Structure 1
Amino acid sequence: MHEHLICLTAADDHRALARLSAMLVQRKATITTMQFSRQPDSKSWWIQLIVRVESERERELVVKRLNRLVDIIKAFEVPGDGGHWRQTVFVALHPEPGEAVYIGQIAGSFGAEVLESDAAGIRLHLSADPRRCRDFIDLLRPFGLGEVLLGAVSGVRVGSHHRGNKTRRRATDTAHTHRQRN
């Protein structure tokens, strides 16, 4: 089974989530992560799902069926191997005396942030690719791993930012041309 990140915009209707879940159960897709956020100044929801499906054909069917659901405005897959996927992890450690140096080296090599370090323990934060987050946790296990809080996986479509840059350039070019005429 392969994991796929599917993003969708849904209308602000309490039944939209029920329809979404029922369709995924019917297609035998397993939801591993689901994240919701309300769109700013809008009555719609932005939903990101990580789903496991048995085949590429099943993935295509899931996206097509999502786009046909009532209250689903748009659904699409964020393609790729997860290179643009991000997850947040917070870790609380209770290390033995003298282990803080090793924990600091691990945190530094991953680009993690040390939130707090005191007699009670060390608290770390990392935002990275989900596989990197799992590796980070695995390396910290021998150092008195107390608590782990994983955030939902989020993703960004590759290339979508280029369209915005072209729009800005065109507006600038138009303004420049307008000034030359006057």
Structure 2
Amino acid sequence: MANGNNYHTLSVLVANKPGVLTHVSGLFSRRGYNIDSLTVGVTENPDISRMTIVVHGDEHVIEQVTKQLNKLIDIIKVVDISPLESVDRELALLKVTADPTARAEIIQIVNIFRASIVDVSAKSLIIEVTGSTDKINALEELMRPFGIKEMVRTGKVALVRGAKPTQFDK
């Protein structure tokens, strides 16, 4: 997933009910918009989930997407947190080929990135890394020469910093 001015992070509070994710993803599909990243999880209130959606588009596209989302019955609130001061993170697991001659170098890189090795086998390591999209992209690029066997990424999660009011506040 690329970073840039045309990528927006939408934080969407929804009713924690079956079918809500299908309705949201269907809206994007019908409008021809690609979701670059989507994460969903329950909030501090078990009746409400938060979707963090990263989508590419200019202000007009984001405005249209936001209006359409707000029309869905199970949507509580939609906020484009991209222009707000926020904290965002992503998690990735990378299974890397690690023969004995490469292990020390891989471990050194993992330590520099404050990542963790969470599994070791005779021929591979599984690395867990959390951080910004840029950090994860950088570690991925450094691991490519060793051979990435498998990789999975969570997508971005984000919250607005501090006690700043957001459109979620009443």
TM-score by length of 1: 0.75
1:68 aligns with 2:79: no
Cross-structure match for 2:119: 116
**Higher helix proportion (structure 1 or 2):** 1
Letter in 1 for 2:106: I
Of residues 124, 127, 130, the one that matches 1:127 is: 130
SS at match of 2:163: helix
1:137 aligns with 2:140: yes
Q: Following the alignment from structure 2 to structure 1, what is the Cα–Cα distance between the partners of residues 88 and 69?
A: 21
Deviations 1:71-108 (A, max 9, x none): 11101011249973211111122223321121122112
Of residues 1, 4, 13, the one that matches 2:8 is: 4
SS at match of 1:7: strand
Indicate the structure (1 or 2) with the bigger Cα radius of gyration.
1
Specify every segment of 5 or more residues in structure 2 that has no aligned partner in the other structure, as ranges.
166-170
SS at match of 1:152: coil
Report matched runs for 1:1-182 at 5 Å: 2-53=6-57, 55-80=58-83, 84-158=87-161, 161-162=162-163
Equivalent pairs, count: 161
SS at match of 2:136: helix
What is the aligned-residue RMSD (CA, Å)?
Answer: 2.6
- Whether contact under 8 Å (2:10, 2:54) holds in the other structure is yes
Using CA pairs below 8 Å that are at least 6 residues apart, which structure has the higher relative contact order?
A: 2
Identity %: 20
- Whether contact under 8 Å (2:90, 2:157) holds in the other structure is yes
